[in-house]
Structure 1
Amino acid sequence: MRTVGVEEELLLVDPDSGEPKALSTAVLTRAVQDDPGQDLFQLELFGQMLELATHPHTDMAELGAEIVRSRKEAARVAGEVGCAVAALATCPIPVTGALTADDRYRWMARRYGIATQDWLVCGCHAHVAVDSDEEGVAVLDRLRPWLPVVRALSANSPYWQGRDTGYASFRSRLWSRGPSAGPTELFGSPAGYHRQVADMLASGVILDHGMVYFDARLSVKYPTVEIRVADVCLRAETTVLVAALVRALVETAARDWRAGRPPAGHSVSLLRLAAWHAARSGLEGELLDPATMLPRPAPEVVRALLEHTGEALSDSGDTALAEEAVGELLDRGTGAREQRGVLERVGSLREVVTECVRHTQG
């Protein structure tokens, strides 16, 4: 069975006011003091962000338990240096990013200018094991039309700089301003993939392989494909759902490749429209159907994803988990809908942040 692990980026905030706090270095220093060999936390582009990474798992219950433990540990360490963690993909209240002291991040700030400030956003990246670059590229080619549906399920960023953006996942719109971000054309082979990456590096527009910000890519560090479309999810159970569905998508794509079934030939232009539509509406209204690229009610498209991955979900023992989690998510709404519900009740974006701190910490 394929392993899957996730990386979650969390926002560091004042526990009372909700104001973002650039304390990631202090949090990491404290974590290392507690455990010199810790590999859970990493710094990110801005000091108001902290990344945590799980180990790879085959069992979704074990993955979910580690996500919950990791969030609680992040909350504990952050609390010791005077802040809290919030699983928010964008900060609802106005914020200016404090760049982390790192040569690579300084290069990005110089190269991309004011656009860099828009990247104070928190995503969730899932790593799913593949056997080879050949299988990995075949998977990337076949995942493309389904990735907007994953984005819609995870949508958790309706507010930005003190305003309701009208989007469910505004994080993805901010992130798409990067020169290498977004959907990709068909690569066809490992040679095609690596040739495109080499050409991008040679252009000088990006600095290294880590700045190949495709929606899904081959990992440079691990024998995995890395799916990067999801917002960090407000609830840990939504992260587990995303991980289960992404693994099932990878397994389904690999089986299709081995069976000689070709990938859908949708253009990048259509895929960008599907990505925009998912970011705009989340699970409210419609999504573009991955097969036809025509509008269809979002719940029907989500059910089509379950049907598409049904065999892989069954073989991994994740059918009941996925169906139950999808049903709950469709009833309750995404993180974006929950955030808007909090604002309707309390009337304050700062209270939205502090309420999401409570969700994050369980």
Structure 2
Amino acid sequence: MRTFGVEEEFLIVDPDSGYPLPLAGEVLRLHDPGRQAVNHLAPFQMLAAELQQEQLEVITRPHGSLRGLTAEIRAGRAYADSLARRAGGRVAALATSPLPAVPHATRNARYDALMEMYALTAREQLTCGYHVHVSVDSDEEGVAVLDRIRSWLPSLIALSSNSPFWNGTDSGYASFRTQAWNRWSTAGPTEVFGSAQAYHSLVEGLSGTGVVTSPDFDARLSIRHPTVEVRVADVCLDARDSALIAALVRALVETAAREWEAGESPDMVPATILRQGAWLASRWGADGGLLHPVTHRPDTARNVFDALYGHVRKALDDTGDSTEVARSLQRIIDHGTGATRQRQAFDRNGGLAEVVAHATALTHQEPLGYSLSANRLLERGGESASPSTVLAATSG
């Protein structure tokens, strides 16, 4: 069974105003791995700084089971938030800030170089993504996987979409993070590589341009670990959605590896077409038309998600995750993604600060109560998925 782990990037926000706070340095100073056991939280690998001081990254260990990974995702969120509270903030799973923000860059040699090279693109890049690592046996297998999962990645953008607001306004997109992120020079889908040698040759060539040292492909071989790293998703508002994306990525990797071993050729669709699929997923999320990952023609989100589930069903069955994944897919179809919930909170309350408060509560599955005019709203974070709410695909 392939192991998998995740990196979740969070926004640090003011619990009263909802504005981002540059507290990452203070939170990391408070971080003491030895105290996690005292706090009765499952240990995890690390907390890390990101490009901006308003962000914090939580990195899990590798896991063999979805249940174990999900538990650590929840524990990591709780632990990071406990430190943020001590520093005067909260941790929220928001892929962009609903309220306007002027980010404060993290100062080190790597980020200083990015700020110098990319200028406004880097200065404005306050976005929180969600990266999934899945183990592979070799670079050759890893590149074969990259070549065979390309067409399926836009559906993950749609399922994870959680960034409708940007700079104080509704962007019109479900995942505006995808639009902002694609301003980096190497961001987006890649062509079929065909071999590990071709992959490494391209990476070396990109480095030789002097523009980029580590490419920001939608999916790539990890620089530090023997894994494929899938980087297209927004950080998910609901931890159950985080678990869903991780399970789907592992199943995609396993399915692709089996196709390669069986001698099946990858889909040779041009990256330019895949970029259109990613754009549609960014625009509509789970609430509009997408490109079908097989035909590359417009189709409904439901049909795209059914196709994704059917494509990886055997791998999910083998890890025991098929029913849980089906329930989570149905929950998103019925209730929407994080982008849907953010917009619903805004429509109910008319304020972006309330959107942040709502998102913070959902991040940690807390009750949310606040007063708006004469009305009091009390809401529980997230619906309970019904055991009967399973995709039709599970029956056949």
Which residues of 2 match residues 190-229 of structure 1 at below 5 A? 190-206=196-212, 208-209=213-214, 212-229=215-232
How many angstroms does 1:34 deviate by? 6.1
* Contact kept? 1:118, 1:175, Cα under 8 Å: no
Alignment deviations for residues 163-220 of structure 1 (CA, whole Å, 9 cap, x no partner): 10110000010000000111001110000000000000000001x23xx100000001
User: Residue 26 of structure 2 corresponds to which residue in structure 1?
Assistant: 26
Alignment deviations for residues 112-140 of structure 1 (CA, whole Å, 9 cap, x no partner): 11111232100000000000001000000
Runs of 4+ in 1 over 6 A off after TM superposition: none
User: Residue 263 of structure 1 corresponds to which residue in structure 2?
Assistant: 266
Distance 1:188 1:22 in 2: 43
User: Residue 375 of structure 2 corresponds to which residue in structure 1?
Assistant: none
Distance 1:12 1:228 in 2: 21
User: Residue 166 of structure 2 corresponds to which residue in structure 1?
Assistant: 160
Distance 1:226 1:81 in 2: 32
Q: Give, as a single letter, the amino acid of the residue that structure 2 aligns with 1:15.
A: P
Gaps of 5+ in 2: 37-42, 366-396
Alignment deviations for residues 83-117 of structure 1 (CA, whole Å, 9 cap, x no partner): 10000000000001100111111111111111112
User: Residue 257 of structure 2 corresponds to which residue in structure 1?
Assistant: 254
* Contact kept? 2:44, 2:60, Cα under 8 Å: no
SS of 1:119's partner is: coil
Of 33, 53, 56, the residue aligned with 2:59 is: 53
Q: Give, as a single letter, the amino acid of the residue that structure 2 aligns with 1:190.
A: A
User: Residue 70 of structure 1 corresponds to which residue in structure 2?
Assistant: 76
User: Residue 170 of structure 1 corresponds to which residue in structure 2?
Assistant: 176
TM-score by length of 2: 0.89
SS of 2:19's partner is: coil
Q: Give, as a single letter, the amino acid of the residue that structure 2 aligns with 1:352.
A: V
Structure with the bigger percentage of helix: 1
Distance 1:29 1:177 in 2: 32
Gaps of 5+ in 1: none
Residue 137 (1) aligns with residue 143 (2): yes
How many angstroms does 1:355 deviate by? 1.1
Distance 2:219 2:34 in 1: 35
* Contact kept? 1:28, 1:42, Cα under 8 Å: yes
How many angstroms does 1:60 deviate by? 0.6
Distance 1:326 1:92 in 2: 26
User: Residue 16 of structure 2 corresponds to which residue in structure 1?
Assistant: 16
How many angstroms does 1:347 deviate by? 0.5
Q: Give, as a single letter, the amino acid of the residue that structure 1 aligns with 2:197.
A: A
Which residues of 2 match residues 318-333 of structure 1 at below 5 A? 318-333=321-336
Which residues of 2 match residues 303-322 of structure 1 at below 5 A? 303-322=306-325
How many angstroms does 1:33 deviate by? 8.1
User: Residue 2 of structure 1 corresponds to which residue in structure 2?
Assistant: 2
* Contact kept? 2:222, 2:229, Cα under 8 Å: yes
Distance 2:236 2:322 in 1: 21
User: Residue 89 of structure 2 corresponds to which residue in structure 1?
Assistant: 83
Q: Give, as a single letter, the amino acid of the residue that structure 2 aligns with 1:20.
A: P
Distance 1:33 1:63 in 2: 18
Q: Give, as a single letter, the amino acid of the residue that structure 2 aligns with 1:179.
A: S
Distance 1:118 1:131 in 2: 38
How many angstroms does 1:257 deviate by? 0.4
TM-score by length of 1: 0.97
Identify the range of structure 1 (282-291 vs 27-36) with the bigger mean alpha-carbon deviation.
27-36
Of 295, 302, 327, the residue aligned with 1:299 is: 302
How many angstroms does 1:38 deviate by? 7.6
Distance 2:264 2:183 in 1: 33
User: Residue 238 of structure 2 corresponds to which residue in structure 1?
Assistant: 235
* Contact kept? 1:159, 1:170, Cα under 8 Å: yes
Alignment deviations for residues 15-39 of structure 1 (CA, whole Å, 9 cap, x no partner): 1111110000000000138659984
SS of 2:53's partner is: coil
* Contact kept? 2:44, 2:72, Cα under 8 Å: no
Structure showing greater relative contact order (alpha-carbon pairs closer than 8 Å, 6 or more residues apart):
1
Distance 2:193 2:159 in 1: 26
* Contact kept? 1:219, 1:226, Cα under 8 Å: yes
Change (3 A) 1:28 1:34: farther
* Contact kept? 1:31, 1:38, Cα under 8 Å: no
Which residues of 2 match residues 94-173 of structure 1 at below 5 A? 94-173=100-179
SS of 1:309's partner is: helix
SS of 2:325's partner is: helix
Which residues of 2 match residues 327-346 of structure 1 at below 5 A? 327-346=330-349
Q: Give, as a single letter, the amino acid of the residue that structure 1 aligns with 2:147.
A: D
Alignment deviations for residues 243-273 of structure 1 (CA, whole Å, 9 cap, x no partner): 0000000000000000010000110110110
Alignment deviations for residues 219-256 of structure 1 (CA, whole Å, 9 cap, x no partner): 01111000000000000000000000000000000000
* Contact kept? 1:32, 1:38, Cα under 8 Å: no
Paired residue total: 359
* Contact kept? 1:13, 1:85, Cα under 8 Å: yes
SS of 1:126's partner is: strand
* Contact kept? 1:4, 1:127, Cα under 8 Å: yes
Of 350, 353, 358, the residue aligned with 1:350 is: 353
Share of identical aligned residues, percent?
Answer: 48
Alignment deviations for residues 274-312 of structure 1 (CA, whole Å, 9 cap, x no partner): 110100010112110111110000011001000000110
SS of 1:325's partner is: helix
